[in-house]
Structures are given as C-alpha cells and as structure tokens.
Structure 1
Amino acid sequence: MLHGLKTSVRPVEEDDIDEIYQWYNDQEVNLWSTGAWPLNTLLSKEQISIKFLDGSSDGYRYSILDENKYLIGTIGFKELNIPSRSATLFVVIGNKSFWGKGYGTDALIIFARYLFTQWNFHRISLDTWDGNLRAIKAYEKVGFKIEGRLREARYVLGSYQDAILMGLLKSEFLAMHGN
C-alpha cells in the first residue's frame, strides 16, 4: 500500500466494486471525471468488476482510501509505453464529499512518486476538458504542465469543449516533491 499525507493507494478489491459501480453510474461524478455522461456510464456491476479486477483490462487500476481507510476514489494508468517509459494517468474521486479538499492531489503525488521511482517512468500524462478547472488546478499542484489543446475534442452537456493535454517529467516531479 502507498501512503500519502491524506490518502493511501492499494489494489482494487472485490468489496470495492459496489461503490465504484455507484460512481460510474453517477452523472455528476462522470461529468467531472470524463465530461462524457452518459457515454462512459451505465455499466453493469459485472462490467465494472471485469474492468477493475480482470488482469486483461485496459490499464492498471487502484483504489484511493482516506485517512480512515474508507474508499473514496480510483487511480491508475493506461497506454503503457515501455520503450519511452511513459503512461497516461487517470484519477477519480468518486465520493463527492471529498471533492475540493486535496485528496485527489495527495493521491496523484503518491502515485506519481510510485511510478517515477518504482516503475522508473520518465514521463506521465493525463487529460481533461477545458471546463474542468478544479482538476486542472489540482494537476498543476502536482507539477503537470499544459502541453496542448485538442480543439472541440470533447462533447460535454450538448456543446463541444477543448481537451487539455498535460504532462509531467520525472525530473520536474522530483525537483518539486523530492524522493
């Protein structure tokens, strides 16, 4: 288990699936995590279980716990590129009572440290949509820099929004947060 100041990160367990299922089918959680309601939602518990527990899923997924070891979100990476030592991150604080309180930032810091020091990644990236200012601010606190914009690449609540691409290099992260 990885430990931060406010959060811990551990592998997803079978007991997490009911809560994760609720988040994946929550319009507000999905709006801010992907901007894609309902396109990324309306999954069955079985589909969620396969996505999070099956070793052949589309990425590596972990649970985020608060100080009391209560499940509050998920984090992980996909698009692993071994030659370039890079991957794309994703993070969701599914429990809305933990929004805007630094839990996502803390989880990203400990997870980025893990990827840079244990997996020896050189670079990690992530993306969001331009209306998700809270996420962009949290990502910048971790050290991510805006690297690009895909014009009108997301369709959010009936209108096209730009996708914001962000990246973080190992050297930048370690200079900002240490080992």
Structure 2
Amino acid sequence: MIRGQKTTIRPIEEDDIEELYQWYNDPDVNLWASGAWPLNTLLNKDQIALKFLDGSPDIYRYSVLDENNLLIGTIGFKDINIPGQSAALYIVIGNKSYWGKGYGTDALIVFVRFLFNQWNFHRISLDTWDENIRAIKAYEKVGFKIEGRQREARFVLGNYHDAILMGLLRDEFLALHGK
C-alpha cells in the first residue's frame, strides 16, 4: 500500500467489485471519467470482476481509499513503453461525494511519485475530453501540461469534443512535489 495525505492506494480486491459495478454503470461517473455516456457498454458484475481482477496483464489497476479505508475510486496505468520509460495513467473517483475535495489530486500525487520512483518511468501521459475542466485542473496541480488535442475525437451526449492530451516528466514532477 502507498499512502498520501488523504488517500491510500492498494491492489483491487474481490470485495471492491460491488462498488465498482455501481460506479462503472453510473452515467455521471462515466461521463466525467471518460466522456462515455451513453455508455459504450453496460457491464455486469462478472464482467467487472473479470476486468479488474483477471484483466489484461498490461493494465495495472488499484483501489483508492480515503482516510477511513473506504473505497472511493480506482487508479492505474497502461500502455507501458519500456524503452521510452513511459506509461499512460488513469483515475476515476467513483464515489461522487468525494468529487472536488482534493482526493483525486492527492491520489494522483502519491501514485505518480510511485510510478516515477519505483517503476522508473521518465514520462507519464493521460487524456481527457475538453469539457472535463475539474479533471484538467487536478492534473495541472500535479504538474501535467497540455501537450495537444485531438479535434473532435470524443462523442459525448450527441456532440463531438476534443480529446485533451497531457503529459508529465519526472524532473517536472520532482521539482514541484519532491521525492
């Protein structure tokens, strides 16, 4: 387990599946997590369990807990490039009562530090959609910079939106947040 000021990150456990099932089938959570509402696919509990417990060996998934060890979200990384020492990051705060209270930012800081120090990544990237301003601001607090956009790459609620591409280098993060 790795601990931040407000959050703890640990591997996903079987007991987490019920909560994950609720979040990943919630239109608000999906809208802000990926711009994917209406959902591309509605997942049942068995599919959620398969995705999070037995999923791809190339995607690393973890649970985000609050100060009382209550599950509030998930975080992870994928698209690992060993020669380039890079990966893509994702985070979802599924418990909506924790939105806008700094839990996502805290989880990102502690997890990004883990990725740079333990996995020895040089660069971490992520993407979101242009109207997800709350997420973009949280990413910028961590040190991510907007590196580009893919025009009309997301279809959200009947309209096309730009995908916002963001990146963070190890030296930038360490200068901002220390080891």
What is the deviation of 1:58?
5.1
Residue 35 (structure 1) aligns with: 35
Contact 2:128 2:163 in 1 (8 A): yes
Amino acid at match of 1:83: P
8 Å CA contact retained: 1:24, 1:41: no
1:120 equivalent in alignment to 2:120: yes
Structure 1 residues 60 and 132: CA distance shift in structure 2, 3 A? same
Provide the residue aligned with 1:23 in structure 2. Answer: 23
Q: Distance in 2 between matches of 1:71 and 1:109?
A: 18
TM normalised by structure 2 equals 0.98
- Name the aligned partner's letter for residue 20 of structure 2: I
Q: Pairwise CA RMSD of aligned residues?
A: 1.0
- The change in CA–CA distance for 1:49 and 1:136 in structure 2 (over 3 A counts) is same
Aligned mates of 2:112, 2:155 — CA distance in 1: 29
1:16-165 matches, cutoff 5 A: 16-54=16-54, 56-57=56-57, 59-165=59-165
Q: Secondary structure of the residue that 2:110 maps to in structure 1? A: helix
Q: CA deviation at 1:40?
A: 4.0
Q: Secondary structure at the match of 1:121?
A: coil
Equivalent residue number for residue 178 of structure 1:
178
Give the TM-score normalised by the residue count of structure 1. Answer: 0.98
Query: What letter is aligned with 2:12?
Result: V
**After superposition, what is the alpha-carbon deviation per residue over 1:111-133, rounded to whole angstroms, capped at 9, x for unaligned?**
00000000000000000000000
| Contact 1:30 1:41 (8 Å CA) reproduced | no
Q: Which runs of 5+ in 1 are unaligned?
A: none
In the TM superposition, residue 56 of structure 1 has moved relative to its aligned partner by 3.0
CA deviation digits over 1:51-95, x for unaligned, max 9?
A: 111153551000000000000000000101111110000000000
Shift of 1:44: 1.0
CA contact (8 A) 1:11 1:63 kept: yes
Counterpart amino acid of residue 34 in structure 2: T
Q: Deviation above 2 Å: which 4+ runs of structure 1?
A: 38-41, 55-58
Any conservation in 1 of the 2:149–2:164 contact (CA below 8 Å)?
yes
8 Å CA contact 2:7, 2:106 repeated in 1: yes
Q: Name the aligned partner's letter for residue 10 of structure 1.
A: R
Structure 2: stretches of 5+ with no match in the other structure: none
Shift of 1:41: 4.2
Deviations 1:149-168 (A, max 9, x none): 00000001000000000000
CA contact (8 A) 2:27 2:39 kept: no
Change in 2 beyond 3 A, CA 1:40/1:104? farther
Equivalence for 1:10: 10
Instruction: Please state whether the residue corresponding to 2:160 is helix, strand or coil.
Output: strand
1:36 to 1:55, Cα distance in 2 relative to 1, 3 A: closer
Aligned mates of 1:4, 1:159 — CA distance in 2: 37
